Homo-oligomer: A and B are copies of this chain.
Amino acid sequence: MIKEYKRKEDKLDKSARKAEIKRLRDFLVNEPQKIQAAKLPVVVLVEGWDCAGKGNLIRSLICELDPRFYSVKSFERTPESAERYPFLKKFFDVLPENGKFLFMDTGWMEDVVGKHLRREITAQEYKRRVESCNTFERQLRDNGYVVVKLFLHISRDEQLKRITDLKEDRDTQWRVSGDDLWQQQEYDKFLSTYDDFMEATDDVAPWHVLDGEGRSRALYDALKAITDTVEAAVEAGRCEGQPTGKKFPLLGGPSQKDADLSAAISEEDYKAELKRLQKKLGKLHNQIYRKRIPVVICYEGWDAAGKGGNIRRLTYPLDPRGFDVIPIASPTPGEKNRHFLWRFWTKLPRSGHIAIFDRTWYGRVMVERIEGFCSENDWKRAYGEINEFERELTDWGTVVLKFWIHIDPDTQLERFTARQNTPEKQWKITDEDWRNRDKWPQYEKAVEDMLQKTSTEYAPWHIIESVDKKYARIRTLQITTEALEKAVEDNVVRGIKARKSKKKDEED
């Protein structure tokens, strides 16, 4: 892509280019009206050599745009705290809403290539991350995002010249980092790695290589790439991808049919086990904290199945500084206007912490499917997208536990009625609960599909029989302590070298 890059002959003269730039800029200024109408979010990724003028290019792109319709994020120097999460999180975090532009000053390419060349990740992990980038771009496209990828190219000599210029001025010398100097020195290595990366990620959203040595040419080409892509997307309408057919290591179950709802525990055993397991979990929490293992625990289940009480027993022995319970309600407008996993990516635990989701991303294939809050394509595609999401988490070393808290309709009715009849519990039962109850068969089917299609080797589902709530609490504690014990023993964060921060524990 850039290895054989040759500066193209300049076909436009100066004034013609100026006129063209003005025309395209005017065009871009009116673009937000169109992308708002078409509900399209647009991500413009600006990658390129250090000192190639990425900042200047972005400035020229945005200078006529209304600030209500765009934002700029720079990942040139990502804070160390971002290293406490899967690498894609920082990019998910900044995704724009429908109808808005995001300009990214460097992004996933620089992140992955940089870590590879600095040998912060293994060769295998590098390959994996390249694939993750493809997955990320496909998920963006399938969920309606328009992605425009630009690479600002300059020669080695030109880079050296610019570095020298910057260093000569006291007000700009701080802009030259050790990384810049190193890239200059290792220019050829970067060249071939950039090239490989671009070859490997050219399918979903193609790369546009821009001539960084000619400022107005680069601007013109960038404007053209953006306006052409956006115009085509507005024409085609918001994309709603089909399921990809990608294979996952599915376990093919468990099934609700196999649940033994008569499972119970005696009061005496409950007390003893609860005490024993909570003590163990408290100790394990210290260990995962020290070893920086991230943990995600998902609670799904029927209304009144006993999720709340179950979660409280699980969190009781945990240090409040090291965990969060994240209640998931219906999405806010800002959440609805973004990738459906955005609100979960943004809430992931940092390494060493536990996030307990009280309801989860599985709402997509349950309530959103049943109530028609998303299209059929959307929820059918979501099984794969969720498997990819959880794969990204577990590849990063996250322990992912998924509990389906299970009861039968009679038990639910009993509990609903009891709530209704107990004044201080009445707030817990709403008309919506009764309406959902009427849809038990549809939910049963959706739950079964979910268990079939998203129970993977790396993130299996556990059905927790909860007619006897105490039995259910012991079960989740058992499964959790076992999984954490195993994780502490393995203590492998796959593919990452030198994970240990020098400033140990400073930012917990």
Contact = CB atoms under 8 A, between A and B. Distances in A.
Contacts of A76: 321, 508
Interface stretch (A64-72, A116-124, A249-257): A64-72
Contact of A316 (B63, B312, B320, B427): B63
Interface in A133-185: 171-172, 174-175, 177
B315 A506 contact: no
A14 interface: no
Contacts of A358: 67-68
A169 B462 CA distance: 33
B427 A321 contact: no
Interface in A276-333: 283, 286-287, 289-290, 308, 311-312, 315-316, 318-321, 324-327, 332-333
B171 A74 contact: no
By CB atoms of chain B within 10 A, which of A59, A312, A356 has the most?
A59
A141 to B, nearest CB: 25
A271 to B, nearest CB: 16
A417 interface: no
A59 B427 contact: no
A58 B320 contact: yes
A81 interface: yes
A247 interface: no
Interface in A102-131: 103, 105
Contacts of A103: 320
B171 A67 contact: no
A71 B332 contact: no
Contact of A72 (B67, B172, B321, B424): B321
Chain A interface size, as a band, is: 35 or more
Interface in A26-74: 30, 33, 55, 58-59, 62-64, 66-68, 71-72, 74
A324 B71 contact: yes
A505 interface: yes
Given A171-B286, A287-B171, A59 B327 contact: no
Contact of A507 (B80, B172, B315, B318): B80
Interface string A420-437: 000010010000000000
B171 A319 contact: no
Given A59-B320, A72-B320, A72-B321, A77 B508 contact: yes
A427 B315 CA distance: 51
A79 interface: yes
Contacts of A177: 505
Interface string A320-348: 11001111000011100000000000000
A312 B64 contact: yes
A427 B33 contact: yes
A254 B407 CA distance: 69
Contacts of A66: 308
A148 B81 CA distance: 31
A316 B286 contact: no
A287 to B, nearest CB: 5
A129 B333 CA distance: 38
Nearest to A329: B68
Given A283-B171, A312-B64, A321 B80 contact: no
Contacts of A308: 66-67
A59 B314 CA distance: 12
Nearest to A33: B427
Contacts of A312: 63-64
15 contacts: A33-B424, A58-B320, A59-B316, A59-B320, A67-B308, A67-B311, A74-B321, A76-B321, A79-B507, A81-B81, A103-B320, A174-B504, A175-B286, A332-B333, A332-B334
